[in-house]
Chain A
Amino acid sequence: MKPIPVLIAAALLLCLGPAVAFAQTTMSVEVRETQLRATPSFLGRVDALLQYGDQVSVLEEAQGWARVRHQGATGWVHGSALTTKRIVMQAGDASAQRGATGSEVALAGRGFNQEVEDRYRAEQGLDFSGVDRMEGYGVDPERLAAFLSEGQLQLPGATQ
């Protein structure tokens, strides 16, 4: 075999490496709060809460869900709550000072943040009370489960 095709193949393998190794990878929670569940379903029992920036070890993946370990507990988290970037909560963190870039690290609270919103709000004279009220329209999980059941509806994933 000629050396160039072999080496191109090696380069491709190097690129595929991280995707193949997903099952052992470390990921971070990129939403304000999420749940560690007993089964891969939003109706699954909640065993623990995970906060923004928490790091988890991914053990396996199934249908958009990841089974993860966090501080000794294992359970399922939906993949849309996780990122491969490390989320740095404190801007004074060593990796931030090393000038880590956005491709590996996201700095929490930087960029478009509360401070920018406050300034924008003052400049525009906008009223945010409606948006604040709307954020309180969360749905109680038990109420949602009963609502689904009454309407003979379901969510994807196993519930047991």
Chain B
Amino acid sequence: MNRCTDLSRAIRIAFIATLVLAAIGCAGLGSITEIGTGVAVATGRMTDQQAQSLTRTAEAVERSAEDITPEQEYYIGRSVGAVILDQYPPYDSATATEYLNLVGQALALASDRPELFGGYRFMILEANEVNAFATPSGLIFVSRGMLRLTRSEDDLAAVLAHEIGHIQHRHGLKAIRTSRITTALTSAALTGAQFATSAEVAELTAAFEGSITDITSTLINSGYSRGAEREADEAAVEIMKRVGYDPTALIRVLERMGEGWDPAGPGFARTHPAPDTRISVVQRAIGSYRHQPVGAAARQRRFDRALGSI
């Protein structure tokens, strides 16, 4: 073989390699399958129906929590909220609830994910156990028992900012089994018709029910991973710094939490790492940051007014 042929073959191979690299890097697996199936259909080796089911299989590979749209996240979150409220009744106090929402909204707007489909909302639960939950869609619940561990607005901010951290990192959605996300998203992407068939709605509802159970059992029983709790604590510290709250308040709340710590009991002790572990994470996250203690007196007055008798 002469040099000329060798060179042209090398260029040809390199050109194909470039196309493949570009396709992998830019498009992801699903699109490559689509290009491939498109060719197969055009050359008559595959029916449209076969092509569609193959595309659907390929999409199954790349679906994850990141692919859930804020709109679908909103519906997941509403149902998770309804399950939580089925187990814990709300605590009705207009003053306390409004205060909770003002502090919470300030923190949420300073987070890395201030915009959700339906926005952040905060509610107090009528429960003595120390607990707090965040649905993926921005519904945040805090028990009266948890609020009794807070003695200042900055303490309250620490509790709420940790829950916002879970939402910012999509921890709730990541608790959903991938197969259910795939069902939801392939159905959403592939149905061009105006209305889903009743079989599709039944399949979707089953995947939906499974998703809600995956999240609520994680929130109420098993808890997130230590890594997820670390991410939420680190986000909480960052959010508090941005708004001007004292991030060391998170350490104070964790210390109080540690006093009655019983991993066999209900609430945070069952679903969260021990406070000591979390305190060292928080201390590292705070680093050399020095809080400027301004406005503390005004914040204390309104905290006492709204939550003093919780």
Contact = CB atoms under 8 A, between A and B. Distances in A.
Contact of B79 (A4, A109, A126): A126
A15 B26 contact: yes
B59 interface: yes
Main DSSP-derived SS at the B contact region: helix
Contacts of B192: 91-92, 96-97, 99
Contact of B82 (A18, A92, A110, A127): A127
B298 A152 contact: yes
B70 interface: yes
A148 B185 CA distance: 40
Given A114-B75, A119-B201, A31 B116 contact: yes
Interface string B58-78: 010001000101111011101
Contacts of A78: 114-115
B75 A137 contact: no
Nearest to A122: B205
Contacts of B21: 8, 11-12
A28 to B, nearest CB: 11
Given A116-B208, A127-B86, A152-B295, A107 B78 contact: no
Given A15-B22, A107-B188, A152-B244, A120 B79 contact: yes
Interface string B205-242: 10111011000000000000000000000000000001
Contacts of B205: 116, 119-120, 123
Interface in B78-121: 78-79, 81-83, 85-86, 90, 97-98, 101-102, 105-106, 109-110, 112-119, 121
Contact of A111 (B97, B116, B185, B195): B185
Given A80-B113, A139-B102, A120 B31 contact: no
B81 A153 contact: no
B295 A151 contact: yes
Nearest to B153: A151
B78 A92 contact: no
Contacts of A15: 22, 25-26
A110 B208 CA distance: 13
B139 interface: yes
Interface of B: 10-11, 14-15, 17-19, 21-22, 25-28, 30-31, 34, 52, 55, 59, 63, 67, 69-72, 74-76, 78-79, 81-83, 85-86, 90, 97-98, 101-102, 105-106, 109-110, 112-119, 121-123, 139, 153, 184-196, 201, 204-205, 207-209, 211-212, 242-245, 294-295, 298-299, 302
21 contacts: A4-B10, A7-B18, A11-B19, A11-B22, A31-B117, A52-B117, A78-B115, A80-B113, A102-B67, A103-B31, A108-B71, A111-B69, A111-B204, A112-B72, A113-B72, A115-B201, A126-B79, A131-B139, A134-B121, A134-B123, A137-B121
- List the 9 shortest-distance A-B pairs measured between CB atoms, nearest first: A152-B295, A111-B188, A110-B188, A81-B115, A15-B25, A130-B85, A102-B189, A11-B21, A80-B115
Given A3-B10, A116-B205, A126-B82, 10 more contacts: A32-B118, A42-B109, A81-B115, A102-B67, A103-B31, A112-B72, A121-B82, A134-B121, A137-B122, A153-B243
